[in-house]
Amino acid sequence: MKNIAYIICIATLIMAGCKPDKKTDIGEPFDKVAGLEGTWVLNSFLQKDLNNPVQEERDLSQYYIVEGIAPMELTFNAADRAYDIELTEGKNFFGSGGTWSFDNDQYPTSILFDDGTEENSFGLGSVVREFDNELTIQLEKGCSEDDLNVIYKFIFDRAQ
């Protein structure tokens, strides 16, 4: 009796696996450049010490976000790939404004800021689509590219 039950189960699994795949259209990929356009307001600033065995993230937002003072804002223009920054508190890692670009517009993993004198590369925490409201970018610092010591993570909210 057990053998018959096993045979029926196996036959059912085989038949279920033989169904044809449904053809679906998932649509066009999102435009990552258009997704970044707009003004982004700093929500938090985190630091991760890569030399610490625990590798915890420390919330250092108080260096950028002070009560009564407008937090950092980054504004991106998709048409001419220009960016502008408004910063009243904290260290400026982004330059004074200039041009921005992705390392790859279709599959971006980093964003480059060029203020005309210096170019800085930031990693993308995730790709931003036009309807996403959070942007995470991180700056990896160290003595060399192979010897990273710290990661600064900037988390922005899309301005409404």
pLDDT for 14: 66
pTM of the model: 0.77
Calculate the alpha carbon distances from 91 to 86, 88, 141, 144 in Å.
Answer: 12, 9, 14, 21
Q: What CATH number does the domain containing 97 carry?
A: 2.40.128.540
- Return the SS3 of 7: helix
Ranges of the chain with pLDDT below 50: none
Domain membership of residue 16 (yes or no) is no
Domain membership of residue 19 (yes or no) is no
pLDDT for 19: 61
**Can you give the residue range of the structural domain that contains 77?**
31-158
pLDDT for 134: 94
Domain membership of residue 89 (yes or no) is yes
Half-sphere exposure of 76 (CA within 13 A, CB side): 25
Domain membership of residue 82 (yes or no) is yes
CA dist 70 and 64 (Å) reads 9
CA dist 18 and 31 (Å) reads 36
Query: Domain total for the chain?
Result: 1
Domain membership of residue 18 (yes or no) is no
Domain membership of residue 141 (yes or no) is yes
pLDDT for 54: 81
Domain membership of residue 49 (yes or no) is yes
Q: By C-alpha distance, which of 80, 65, 117, 110 is closest to 95?
A: 117
